[in-house]
Amino acid sequence: MVNLVRAELRKLLGLPTAWVGLVLGTLVAPVVVLLNAPYTRRAIAAGTLTDTSDLGLRDLGIGLIGPMVLGVIVVSSEYTSTGRDAPGARQLTATLAAVPHRLRLLAAKTIALVLVVAAQAAVTTAATLTLTQALHGEHVPVPAPARVAAAILYWTLTALLAYAITLITRNGIVPLTLLIINSSVVSVSYLLTKVTDLASYLPDIVGAQMFIRESDFPVEVPPVTAGLVMTAWIAALLAVGAVLFQRRDA
Amino acid sequence: MNTVRAELRKLLTLPSLRRTALLTWAATVLLTYAYASAEASGEKLGDAALAPLGYTQAGFLVLGLLAATSEYQEGDQIRATLLAMPRRLPLQAAKALALAALTLPVATATAATSTLPAGEAARIPAAAAYLTLTTLLAAAVATVVRRAVPATIALLGLYFIAGPLLRAGSPASAPYLPDTAALDPSHGAAATIAWTFSALTLAALTFRRRDA
């Protein structure tokens, strides 16, 4: 198993697109905090920003494109054609020749993805929160360790969400489009909460309540329940993805 | 003219394009409904006629990039295409024309879906033109990138993450971004046109010079 995970890690980190996700996801949030600093300082001074305990944690959301790209690319790279002279060949054929046991392969892939994304999330969260403290330290309380851990968990689960959807669709474009639109300023899920309260239980909305306090969602979910609901979503989608991966022709 | 007809037939027979167009339209219906209910409950989330299109323009980006990258997927259809039509610049022009002809009806239907309920039918032509230009821009970028997933990341990242961030950070940059016109047509129309035509020119030049 250790060898499998090492192999999957090397495959993932050998993809140029994965590095785009890694660099982009790690740098965007801290850079946004830095660029928004003058605006935030004015808002605090003017008193329009009353609850500052979410500052920094809230800015993390913009970097989620990193875990999304990583989660998608780890699967979709297996399904892209390997070369123009062998159009039918895909990397997955070679992967399965090396590891015929499909669920073991999937487990190794999942572990490799979780390791990379958790490391990325830890670095980004640390950088973003340290920067927030350095810039607005006197106004912003240091967030509790549990909230920081929840933010890292949210990043990891988001990557797994992208990964599970890609396992089902076997194509990177659908999950990327869905997830990137949904990470825009006013997300589609947030709009859906205006239609039905049930939309508050969509994974991205409920997951954010693990570490963000101030929110205008119609249903307030306590952090632990929020984490469980989001994990249940991911587990269900992963189960579907795993069954399909096990049963479908490669 | 024959080339345009051939390119159009190639595009019309791609199932992925049909699916994308259908999903885009369905998403527009859903979002228009969501905006209407938000407004009914007394919440103003933005311009209900254009805001849904701000999201579903993603569908048009995907439409354009799928149309362009379909030539480079398994089997390398581009080689057969170039064998039939070796003059690359006219071929590239025919591709753009065919894509525009295919997109315009879809764009008009999508624009009508979101503007008619808001009672702003006069905005349909501008919105449809914007969506068609956006599709062409995506196709041009994808012609340079050639691979679907990286092109998706680049385009959606620019339109949904970098664009909004830049506009929020420095409002002065808004008139120069290609996607400002989606929500604010009077401000960004020139930028959309300029970006699209420069991207098309760049794509045509790289397509002409590069090995297929």
- Count other Cβ atoms within 10 Å, centred on residue B145: 20
Chain A residue numbers touching B53 (CB-CB < 8 A):
none
A182-219 residue pLDDT tens: 877 677 888 787 777 888 888 888 888 888 876 667 77
| DSSP for residue B182 | G
> According to the model, what pLDDT value does residue A215 have?
64
> According to the model, what pLDDT value does residue A84 have?
66
CB pairs under 8 A between A and B: 85
Average pLDDT over residues A24-29: 90
pTM for the model stands at 0.89
Closest residue by Cα to residue A207 from A60, A95, A56:
A60
**Alpha-carbon gap: A139 to the closest alpha carbon of chain B (Å):** 22
Average pLDDT over residues A230-243: 94
Residues of A within an 8 Å Cβ radius of B:
17, 20-21, 24, 28, 32, 35-36, 62, 65, 69, 72-73, 76, 80-81, 84, 87-88, 172-173, 176-177, 180-181, 183-186, 188, 191-192, 194-195
A134-160 residue pLDDT tens: 888 777 777 788 888 988 999 999 999
Average pLDDT over residues B169-190: 80
CA–CA separation, B10 and B187 (whole Å): 36
Contact between B115 and B124 (Cβ < 8 Å): yes
**Alpha-carbon gap: A105 to the closest alpha carbon of chain B (Å):** 23
> According to the model, what pLDDT value does residue A81 have?
75
Q: Is the model more confident about A55 or about B204?
A: B204
Average pLDDT over residues B97-122: 90
| Mutate: best of A59, A166, A184, partner B, most B CBs <10 A | A184
Average pLDDT over residues B136-165: 90
Contact between B154 and B141 (Cβ < 8 Å): yes
R_g of chain B computed on alpha carbons: 17
